Structure 1
Amino acid sequence: MSNERHLRGKTALVTGSTSGIGLAIARAYAKAGAHVVLNGFGDADEIEAMRKTLAGEHDVEVRYHATDMTDVAAIEAMVAEVEAEFGAIDLLVNNAGVQHVAPVHEFPVDKWNLIIALNLSAAFHAMRLVIPQMKKKGWGRIVSTASAHALVASPYKSAYVAAKHGIAGLTKTVALEVAESGITVNAISPGYVWTPLVEKQIPATMAARGLTEEQVKRDVLLAAQPTRQFVTVDEIAALALFLTTDAARNITGALQVIDGGWTAA
């Protein structure tokens, strides 16, 4: 499949794609022939080098938008600009996200608002904006990064769990609405993946639970996954790529679980 370049001529917008899961998916789509729009924050020089490398390695157009995905007007402007250049956004990956860990009675209101805006509302806005052009073309693929926390809960993550449960409901609803339009809408629900997002939440979890770093990894993170292995970003990217193929055209409204057996129990 990776050699078919089945996405040649299509355009993918991948939010939160300057590192981690989003970058891995962007690379997979570029390798398959898609023009890619990167989005996210980071060092400007590093992102530009990444953009040039991605374009050069796969002979595709690669753009970068530093759009704040909590800013509705900015999202609208980005989508309009990309559609003006490429005609349509054929593939949308809603991956931008942030995490904060705290007991609900101590959860900062600004952190709650940020997590809901970035992890859930941003996906809604991106979907509503790209779907009209997808419908006109009669083809589209929407993939959102959910989480095992779209299916089960963990303590101290009220906003994140609420947002990921929301992604599950949004995915199912939009899939039904566009089911006859040649558009599929799915979510990938990983277990713990070793990304900057996971790494950054370890100190807060240590403080909240009074554990060492190794105890957090062993007894909190990987304790949930029977395989005792972190999911890799390349495994998630491979699944996201499969969902763009003709073989996956009847997979829609689904939460594709890749969690080392976490939610099997």
Structure 2
Amino acid sequence: MGKLSEKISIVTGAGQGIGRGIAEKFAAEGATVVVADVNETTAKETAAGIGGGAIGVRTDVTSRESVAATVEQVRGQFGRIDVLVNNAGWDKAGPFTESAPDDWDRIVQINLYGVLNTCRSVLPVMAEQGFGSVVNIASDAGRVGSSGEAVYSAAKGGVIAFTKSVARELARNKVNANAVCPGPADTALFASIGGDNPRLREALVKAIPFRRLAQPADLANVVAFLASDEAAYVTGQTVSVSGGLTMS
């Protein structure tokens, strides 16, 4: 019996990276995982790989219609939604003064509106049930800012503030909401925004007290705790998982 035994859990962006690590941890802890990802192939591959009755569903978090269809499918198949993990994210690094508004739109649509869209569909379900847990993957960029990631930082800062607000609104329904802020993590997304540059990578590692980048499992362990009944009295909190890079 794991700490997430029999919990019906939706994890967005779970086809790879941190999301896949979260899905794997959830399955290991007994959850039934809905692997939601815009890439249907990786969603289904991840679901097949973790087992435990997991299903892969193509979900575009920027589309309210796509999100609503996924939520209805989950309710129809499982009858309830116990946990929502908003992990889907995207960034394009570079100086703000050279950035393109089209990229702003995509960054905000995925990182902020994606969270709004899923929560708008899932929170009424949880409120009606009288239980549920939401864990939003934000970023330390949203707490302290990040050079070359101004719009991403703004979107993630919005996720943190939104999480606190819905935690207040839904507390009377016994629904909790918390944010987890990864520091630099060893993922494909990090590599795509410059993390594959050996000099940048070395400088970052030196700045982290634990002297290594985060692995998906580091984040997944904290998310699993916040999604579990062990964290039933924890809500509206922002937890950095950064090896000590940021401390508050």
Q: Identify the TM-score tier after normalising by the shorter chain.
A: over 0.9
> Is contact 1:88–1:130 with CA below 8 Å preserved after alignment?
no
Residue in 2 that maps onto 1:150:
142
Structure 2 residue corresponding to 1:37, chosen from 17, 34, 37: 34
- Quote the sequence identity (%): 32
Q: Unaligned regions of 5+ residues in structure 1, if any?
A: 207-212
Question: Deviation above 4 Å: which 4+ runs of structure 1?
Answer: none
Q: CA–CA distance in 2 between the matches of 1:250 and 1:80? A: 28
Q: Does 1:130 align with 2:114?
A: no
Residue in 2 that maps onto 1:188:
180
Q: CA–CA distance in 1 between the matches of 2:40 and 2:157? A: 32
> Is contact 2:131–2:175 with CA below 8 Å preserved after alignment?
yes
> Is contact 2:14–2:43 with CA below 8 Å preserved after alignment?
no
Residue in 2 that maps onto 1:209:
none
Structure 2 residue corresponding to 1:218, chosen from 195, 202, 207: 202
| 1:140 CA drift (Å) | 0.5
Residue in 1 that maps onto 2:247:
264
| 1:226 CA drift (Å) | 2.6
Task: Give the length in aligned residue pairs.
Answer: 248
Q: Cα deviations across residues 187-225 of structure 1 (Å, max 9, x unaligned)?
A: 11111110111011117xx9xxxxxx2211122x33542
Tell me, what secondary structure is at the counterpart of 2:199?
Answer: helix
Scaled by the length of structure 2, the TM-score of the pair is 0.93
Q: Does 1:52 align with 2:52?
A: no
Q: Cα deviations across residues 218-249 of structure 1 (Å, max 9, x unaligned)?
A: 22x33542322111111111111111233211
Note the aligned Cα RMSD (angstroms): 1.8
Q: CA–CA distance in 2 between the matches of 1:116 and 1:99? A: 9
Residue in 1 that maps onto 2:238:
255
CA change 1:8–1:103 in 2 (3 A) is same
Q: Cα deviations across residues 72-118 of structure 1 (Å, max 9, x unaligned)?
A: 21111111121121112210000000011122222111111011010
Q: CA–CA distance in 2 between the matches of 1:245 and 1:63? A: 20
Scaled by the length of structure 1, the TM-score of the pair is 0.88
1:7-46 aligned within 5 A: 7-42=4-39, 44=41
- What is the one-letter code of the residue matched to 1:185? A
Tell me, what secondary structure is at the counterpart of 2:177?
Answer: strand
Bigger shift: residues 242-251 or 188-197? 242-251
Q: Unaligned regions of 5+ residues in structure 2, if any?
A: none
Bigger shift: residues 111-120 or 32-41? 32-41
| 1:152 CA drift (Å) | 0.5
- What is the one-letter code of the residue matched to 1:186? N
| 1:33 CA drift (Å) | 1.8
> Is contact 2:67–2:118 with CA below 8 Å preserved after alignment?
yes
Structure index of larger Rg: 1
